[in-house]
């Protein structure tokens, strides 16, 4: 393995053979008294990163020049844990966003600075799997650094996991959470009930709203055109249909998007299943 570029004593970009792909190699003292063109001592290599996306690889290189290599090692362990312990399909961008976030958050934690996460409650409620994975990431950080991160920071890590698994912008994810929260509040107030957050129908409703929010907020998104549930809901479940109309008004006013009749039909279906109303 030959060194192509040196970032510090512990991080280099290397290749295996003249035509081999570039990789980031990490190891204590890996580049000590070395220069480009020299061979790497294999026994010093602790981690190797070879990413399929060359753009991500370039951005990751720029990031690791300015932060301790341990943060990249932590991110690599977290990504491997996610792939091992879940069925989420995550993009390679997570290496960058997670490394960058962990480097900043751990500096905050070292200085006992808690960054408030105003969406923590909703993240824990709407993205239970991702928050559970973020808790496991917290254990990896504790093992590597001896630092216990706060639940607020776990919430931010969960958001990065959501972004990487849904392939959408962080701003879009935050808007999605706010939209789901607002729609659930509309339903609760419309029927003057507290929704049962432990029920299976509620979980299904939330999942539907998450995908609905992605369609509304995503560029070029296409909503279903099947109006069977809409026709059925309007004639047989007028109260639930009225609630769906109110949600449609909210989406139009807040996000300047029109809901299709099919989407209103799906909302009616989930409302009557979640609340057993007519």
Q: Report, as ranges of residue numbers, the positions in the chain whose pLDDT lies below 70.
A: 18, 166-171, 219-226, 228, 277-278
| pLDDT recorded at residue 171 | 64
- C-alpha distances in Å from residue 53, one per residue of 62, 63, 128, 158: 15, 16, 29, 23
The DSSP secondary-structure symbol of 39 reads B
Which pLDDT belongs to residue 220?
A: 44
What's the pLDDT at 155? 92
What DSSP string describes 167-223?
Answer: T--HHHHHHHHHHHHHHHHHHHHHHT----TTSHHHHHHHHHHHHHHHHHHSTT---
Looking up tokens 């917290």, which residue turns up? 138
* Domains along the chain with CATH numbers: 1-50 (2.30.24.10), 52-167 (1.10.1790.10), 177-275 (1.10.1790.10)
Residue 165 near residue 92 (C-beta atoms within 8 A): no
- CA within 13 Å, CB half, 195: 24
- Closest CA relative to residue 109, chosen from 154, 151, 148: 148
Q: Which residues contact 254 (CB under 8 A, 6 or more apart)?
A: 179, 182
The beta-strand segments (E) located in the chain are 2-8, 11-15, 23-26, 47-49
Q: Is 139 in contact with 133 (CB distance < 8 Å)?
A: no
């Amino acid at each position: 393995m030959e060194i192509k570029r040196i970032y510090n004593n512990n991080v280099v970009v290397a290749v295996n053979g003249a035509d081999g792909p570039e990789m980031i190699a990490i190891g204590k003292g890996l580049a000590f008294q070395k220069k480009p063109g020299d061979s790497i001592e294999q026994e010093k290599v602790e981690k190797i990163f070879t990413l399929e996306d060359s753009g991500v690889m370039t951005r990751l290189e720029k990031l690791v020049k300015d932060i301790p290599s341990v943060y990249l090692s932590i991110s690599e362990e977290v990504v491997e844990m996610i792939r091992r312990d879940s069925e989420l399909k995550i993009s390679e961008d997570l290496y960058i966003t997670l490394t960058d976030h962990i480097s900043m958050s751990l500096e905050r934690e070292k200085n006992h600075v808690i960054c408030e996460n105003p969406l923590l409650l909703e993240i824990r409620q709407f993205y239970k799997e991702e928050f559970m994975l973020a808790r496991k990431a917290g254990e990896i950080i504790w093992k590597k650094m001896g630092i216990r991160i706060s639940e607020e920071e776990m919430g931010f890590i969960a958001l990065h996991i959501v972004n990487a698994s849904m392939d959408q912008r962080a701003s879009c994810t935050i808007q999605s959470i706010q939209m789901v929260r607002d729609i659930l509040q509309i339903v609760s107030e419309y029927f003057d009930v507290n929704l049962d957050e432990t029920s299976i129908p509620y979980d299904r409703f939330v999942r539907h709203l998450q995908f609905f929010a992605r369609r509304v907020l995503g560029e070029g998104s296409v909503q279903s055109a099947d109006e069977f549930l809409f026709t059925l809901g309007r004639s047989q479940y007028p109260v639930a249909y009225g609630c769906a109309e109110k949600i449609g008004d909210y989406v139009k006013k807040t996000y300047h998007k029109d809901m299709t009749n099919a989407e209103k039909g799906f909302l009616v279906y989930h409302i009557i299943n979640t609340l057993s109303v007519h």
